[in-house]
Amino acid sequence: DKAWTDVIAVCDLEPGDATSVTLGSRELAVFDAAEGVFVSLARCTHGAANLCDGHFDGTHIECPLHQGLFDVRTGAPKAAPARVPLRMFEARVVDGMVQILI
């Protein structure tokens, strides 16, 4: 069964940016986006880059390695060479804590 699991306190996020969080065996990217908090796996689906090292404009994360682009609201790839969507997690904020359903 899935359960809501604490990831990081909202106050520990990089404001308006992407924060890398290790949760068990998962490396997550937590995006403080214009439309809320979104969580994906941190690794780019194109190669061995942590997306949190890339440029975040509040909606799209640009991979630091080859400049692939993803919409963090959906995980959808938006610019080559990114083709495979990001693995997104259902996320919510409760009492100042970011949680995901895993």
Which positions lie near ligand FES, rule CB under 6 A? 44, 46-47, 49, 63, 65-66, 68, 81-82
| Shortest distance, position 70 Cβ to ligand FES, whole Å | 9
* CA nearest to 87, candidates 79, 97, 77: 77
| Shortest distance, position 69 Cβ to ligand FES, whole Å | 8
- Pick the closer one to ligand FES by CB: 82 or 98: 82
CA distance 57 to 18: 10
Report the half-sphere exposure of 93 (CA within 13 A, side-chain side): 15
- Pick the closer one to ligand FES by CB: 68 or 99: 68
| Shortest distance, position 30 Cβ to ligand FES, whole Å | 18
Q: Where are the alpha helices (DSSP H) in the chain?
A: none
* Tokens describing residue 49: 């880059």
